[in-house]
Amino acid sequence: MCPAEGKKKRYVTRGRANLPNSRTMQWLNDEREQRGLSLRAVADAIGYRNAERVGKYFRLQIVPGSDMVRKLAIAVGVSPIEALWSSHHYSAVFDYFDKLYKLGWAWMHDDRLHLDERGAAFLLHYAPPAGTEWVEADLSQPPDTLAHRYHVATIYNQAGVFATIALPRPMACAILLAIGMFPRRGDKSQKEVPTFIRDLALVADEMLSLADVARVPSHLYHMRKPLKEAEKILPWRVYGTPMQLSIVAEYVHHWCDTVCKGYADFARVALYSEGGFVGDPHKNENLWQWQRAEIPSLDDLRLVIKPK
């Protein structure tokens, strides 16, 4: 008998067949079956001639890299952001955060707005024509012509409205996803957060085609530095997974604060039952009841394109 006969063929993998990969592929395959998609249909969607190879990805005989996870998720009809996060391809998830941020920046540039830690400033849009008097207006609210492009977030305290922050919807989605997906050590998410993040990832997906063509100046690329620092932690196996992710989360939250501290504070107050607060409450006040914010409605974050 030829030595090669009877030996089981070994498939080349592109990574470790770990538990997150296995769970993600099983989830994608379940979603494929629920949608009535054949392996042939998925293969056609990702540009493969051979449907058998697609089946090997789902059975994890071939471990997919981040690009293949993204392609399979899109072909099946689920959020690539959620699939990449589920399979622990965090660097690819950071790419999406960065794209959404840049799309939001491009919108603000087109709308002639300034961004600081308190959010978008709409002063120019409320400025009266020369020679006329100012009309009283809430400068934290977008004008009617821009309302469909911005999300207005509100933090409340015991006295009423504590802060109002407006951001372009893509940028708001990036911060909400980042803070929802990467809680710091000690942060406790609201019970509604997993479902909200899953649905929000689908909302963000609708913006990605625009994000790919958004034009931004080169100096904005330094904004990714906290995420690059987080990426350096990912290969360090000396840490256990919980400790590793807690360090990564600190960098992710720092990135959110760098983009817009006010909106990042809102996201933490809204998404965490413990871990989100702004300022220093009085010693007699309950730290976790001092401020509150509602988890945003998905309709207030969706991409809306209106004809000019």
The CATH number of domain 19-86, selected from 1.10.3720.10, 3.10.300.10, 1.10.260.40, 3.40.50.300:
1.10.260.40
What confidence score (pLDDT) does residue 133 get? 61
What confidence score (pLDDT) does residue 286 get? 57
What confidence score (pLDDT) does residue 167 get? 94
Residues of the chain with pLDDT under 50: 1-15
pTM, entire model: 0.83
The 3-class SS string of the chain reads: CCCCCCCCCCCCCCCCCCHHHHHHHHHHHHHHHHCCCCHHHHHHHHCCCCHHHHHHHHCCCCCCCHHHHHHHHHHHCCCHHHHHHHCCCHHHHHHHHHHHHHHHHHHHHHCCCEEECCEEECHHHHCCCCCCCCCCCCCCCCCCCCHHHEEEEEEEECCEEEEEEEEEHHHHHHHHHHHHHCCCCCCEECCCHHHHHHHHHHHHHCCHHHHCCCCCCHHHHHHHHHHHHHHHHCCCCCCCHHHHHHHHHHHHHHHHHHHHHHHHHHHHHHHEEECCCCCCCCCCCCCCCCEECCCCCHHHCCCCCCCC
Q: Where are the domains of the chain?
A: 19-86, 90-300
